[in-house]
Copies of this chain bind each other. A is one copy, B any other.
Amino acid sequence: MTTKWVYTLDELDQAEAAVGGDWDRVRGLLGGKGANLAEMNRLGVPVPAGFTITTEACNTYLARGGELPPGLWEQALAALRTMEAKSGKRFGDPSNPLLVSCRSGAKFSMPGMMDTVLDIGLNDEVTEGMIKLTGNERFAFDSYRRLIQMFGTVVLGVRDEPFEDVLANQRERRAVSSDADLTGDDFRSVVGDFKDIVRRHARMDFPSGAEDQLRMAIEAVFDSWNGKRARDYRQAANIPHDLGTGVNVVTMVYGNLGAGSATGVAMSRNATTGENALEGDYLTNAQGEDVVAGTRPTKPLEQLKGEMPKVYTQFEGIARRLERHYRDMQDMEFTVERGELWILQTRTGKRTAQAAVRIAVELADEDLISREEAVLRVAPEQIEFFLHPQFSAAAKAGHKVIAVGLNVSPGAATGVVAFNPDLAERWAKEGNRDVLLVRPETKPDDVHGMLAAKGILTSSGGRTSHAALVARQFGKPAVVGASELSIDLGARVMTVGSLEISEGEWISVDGTTGEVFSGQLETVVPDMEDEWLSRLMVWADEFRRLGVRANADYPEDAERARKYGAQGIGLCRTEHMFFQAERLPTVQRMITTRSPAERREAVDALLPFQRADFAGLFRAMDGLPVIIRLIDPPLHEFLPSFEDLTRQLADLQIRITNARTLEEVEGITVKLLETQAMLDRVASLREANPMLGLRGVRLGILIPELTRMQVRAVFEAACEVTREGRKAIPEIMIPLTSHVNELRRQRAVLEAEAQEVMEEQGVEIGYQFGTMIEVPRAALTADQIAEYAEFLSFGTNDLTQTTFAMSRDDAESGFLVRYLGDGILPANPFATLDEDGVGKIMRMAVTEARKTRADIETGVCGEHGGDPASIAICDRLGLDYVSCSPYRVPIARLSAAQSALRARV
């Protein structure tokens, strides 16, 4: 039995039978367009007669080096005979010609990537026949010249320019500006010129035989599957190269046969708002491509109701039926030929985030889909739209993009440029101005300025630079690493090419896209309180197993996190509190002093600050757990940088040689000695690899008074809040454990302090001690660790760094870019958890830990906690929760629900 390569649109049942009835495999066999055409045909939707050549035929053709598989052509001709029988027309017959289109159609839509030839079947004689039949010379010759042009470019590989030149000449000759104003005679002459072009450029005559045209067009569509454009697109879109394309040969219908004809595109619901109302554009007396091309102003679909009421009603019904059938909003192409409606294509419609949510919820309300499906229909990233201000499209169109950097923290911000964090704060607080902080890169000292600013822009740094992390943490729009910017902090000016922007001038940044604009752009704020979103999130919460907590260091963050649905704090980084301007000098004194008494004093001075911080957190999270991580970063992070101090010192040395008076010399000498002393201390704290140095629990072991103070602050705050009638649930997290003894030792010291506070205060607090798992050795020995840890929290940022031996700071601005570009790594492991490596060691840790402590609480507090793909991995690992920045909490809730739903299958 020969293979069946060709299915008419009536033969969907046979196609289904061939692949076992599975719709996905039918789409695979016929391509998406072909399968949908056949499906519509079966539904009784008016579709022009036609047939589909399978993707298998394409693959076989390509495998045979460009030879049609045996039997294909015969099957195609037989299908053509059926089309002739249905229409009563004959392919290539001038007296009653059948014309067809020939279009590609792969399993996954690759818009514009592959080829189409319309009006196949025309030649000199048939064109004359068409004129006789339609009485419309212009239509006939316009169609003919379109065939020659498309065939020439698509099938014969002639460039498009010579064709367009002929049209341009003709318009000039007639002194008209549009092809629509050319006459039948004009097109007759154009056809002659077009044939000459084919002869000259393709070294052959335009084939006049209808079957020759069709056969060549089919082969051209097959060949286009391996064209460079298509290959590149598949590469980028992650579509396998071995799927092949189907070819759809369909009877031509015409929207350009006068006033009773029309063509248009429509969505079954509003793609911007999601509202349940037909929406579209059309043109009377036009071909489909004219609507898309935008050469003539289109009319809103509404108007069709008046112009062709019967057609409109019919279309409305079809749209409704297709939506019900496909259970999603549809994007349709239609043509009206002399009052008769034809649907040429239907597919799932693209939509905005807002529309996606509303449509999903309303489809569920209409019982078209289940609530589970509704939750799966919205991409988690789309939720971001509801959380951040946006520039309106109009605003963007009116302003110039001056640079593009990394889109590290979404949202739009506009403000006046401040190059200095103090100035940014002053302008924002005292001047009540919108400020954008612009720096080459940011440091912990800059945080007050970052907080005061509406958004952040840096000229260097990567996705996990300080600026990016802090910006995401606080939901500040940020663009970093905009390397085209040259920032002169001294002159207080930045330049991009020839453009100079001084401090105080307006700029705008779009953290969602990475764009930087000059001037002040209007922003619009979408609504997280959106009624449909709220309902969708309620459903999501019902479906998910994984808890969602937030990483929050301040009460404001905690409040926001709770509003967004966080079920606790998964990570409070206590050291961020140390960076605040009024505390930093005390912190620096604590670090630099060599006197134990002075250190003790500095530590004591920090206690009330920390207590107040924690009390605020506990109040905000009343009744929910709060994980507080003890001090983690290397101490030198709290001091000025070695480089800055070295430069200052050199400066002072130059100044002293130039000093003229004794007073001057004395003044500089004092500064010089101070600077030298600070430099000495900074030098003594320098490390070759600070990431792997004295930090985390190592600090707690070397300076126990510091972590004891933190624990005291936590428990004093918890007691205070308890007395207010609220419930504080502290979980003390010890960072960077690599050996169980570190944890054992540190926990003993800290738990004693906790007990002491509770006794002093006469209050009992429910609490836990646990550790971060961010070092491979901790994961490997989690069975031992679990003896002393009541909870484990995977610090996947650092765990990724140590498991890969890859410093994030160095890699993301360096070789990692190359690795991702070259496909050496499938994804940035700092954005999406590396399941094979990091995921494997996490699984091991969970398994080992549960051997010791079956009910141990496990979670993730790295940035991966807000990444949908990573959340799915955490769900599969059976963790109890993920924790992410407050702004990603809704995204995490949805992702967790989707992961749970996908696991049900």
Contact = CB atoms under 8 A, between A and B. Distances in A.
Contact of A803 (B649, B777, B801): B777
A489 interface: no
A133 interface: no
B693 A824 contact: no
A692 B693 contact: no
Contact of A825 (B687, B739, B811, B818): B739
Contacts of A742: 824
Contacts of A815: 694, 698, 701-702
B807 A805 contact: no
A804 B736 CA distance: 9
Interface stretch (A493-501, A612-620, A835-843): A835-843
A784 interface: yes
A688 B809 contact: yes
Contacts of A775: 803-805
Nearest to A746: B824
A805 B802 contact: yes
B657 A646 contact: no
B805 A736 contact: yes
Residue among A657, A658, A689, A807 with the most chain B CB within 10 A?
Answer: A689
A237 interface: no
Residue among A653, A777, A823 with the most chain B CB within 10 A?
Answer: A777
A792 B351 CA distance: 52
A716 interface: no
Nearest to A839: B780
Contacts of A811: 692-693
B818 A702 contact: yes
Interface in A717-738: 736, 738
Interface in A666-700: 687-694, 698
Given A649-B650, A650-B646, A653-B654, A776 B841 contact: yes
Interface string A815-830: 1001100111100000
A837 B688 contact: no
Contact of A780 (B698, B745, B822, B841): B841
Residue among A690, A807, A823 with the most chain B CB within 10 A?
Answer: A807
A806 interface: yes
Interface in A839-883: 840-841
A776 to B, nearest CB: 4
A774 interface: yes
A803 B784 CA distance: 16
A235 interface: no
A792 to B, nearest CB: 16
Contact of A658 (B646, B657, B739): B657
Interface string A767-810: 00000001111001100100000000000001001111111011
A741 interface: yes
A692 B805 contact: yes
A691 B689 contact: yes
Residue among A646, A745, A776 with the most chain B CB within 10 A?
Answer: A776
Contacts of A818: 701-702
Contact of A688 (B643, B777, B810): B810
Contacts of A837: 738-739, 776-777, 780-781
A553 interface: no
Contacts of A838: 777
B687 A807 contact: yes
A190 B547 CA distance: 84
A814 interface: yes
A825 B743 CA distance: 12
A678 to B, nearest CB: 16
A425 interface: no
A834 interface: yes
Interface string A753-771: 0000000000000000000
B780 A840 contact: yes
Contact of A692 (B689, B694, B836): B689
Contacts of A776: 776, 802-803, 805, 837, 841
Number of copies: 2
A348 to B, nearest CB: 34
A777 B689 CA distance: 19
A476 to B, nearest CB: 23
A647 B642 CA distance: 12
A499 to B, nearest CB: 26
Contacts of A780: 803, 836-837, 840-841
Contacts of A646: 643, 646-647, 650
Nearest to A653: B654
A631 to B, nearest CB: 14
A775 B702 CA distance: 28
A82 B206 CA distance: 130
Contacts of A688: 690-691, 807, 809-810
Nearest to A737: B805
Contacts of A823: 741
Contacts of A804: 738-739, 775, 777
A840 B776 CA distance: 11
Interface in A187-204: none
A840 B781 contact: yes
Contact of A741 (B694, B774, B806, B824): B824
Nearest to A740: B836
A803 B654 CA distance: 46
A836 B784 contact: yes
A818 B739 CA distance: 14
A694 B810 contact: yes
A643 B683 CA distance: 11
Nearest to A656: B654
A679 to B, nearest CB: 11
Contacts of A698: 815
A698 B692 CA distance: 20
A774 B805 CA distance: 9
A775 B736 CA distance: 18
Contacts of A805: 691-692, 736, 738, 774-777, 798, 802
B824 A692 contact: no
Contacts of A745: 822, 824
A719 to B, nearest CB: 31
Contacts of A801: 692
A851 to B, nearest CB: 14
A111 to B, nearest CB: 31
Nearest to A802: B805
Contacts of A693: 807, 810-811, 814
Nearest to A777: B837
A810 B650 contact: no
A646 B741 CA distance: 42
A635 to B, nearest CB: 12
Considering the complex of A and B, which 9 residue pairs feature the smallest CB-CB distances, nearest first? A650-B650, A692-B807, A689-B807, A777-B837, A693-B810, A775-B805, A776-B776, A687-B810, A688-B809
15 contacts: A646-B646, A646-B650, A653-B654, A654-B657, A657-B658, A688-B690, A688-B807, A689-B691, A689-B807, A691-B807, A693-B810, A701-B815, A701-B822, A776-B802, A776-B837
Given A646-B650, A657-B658, A701-B824, 6 more contacts: A643-B646, A689-B689, A693-B807, A777-B837, A780-B841, A781-B837
Interface of A: 643, 646-647, 649-650, 653-654, 657-658, 687-694, 698, 701-702, 736, 738-739, 741-742, 745, 774-777, 780-781, 784, 798, 801-807, 809-811, 814-815, 818-819, 822-825, 834, 836-838, 840-841
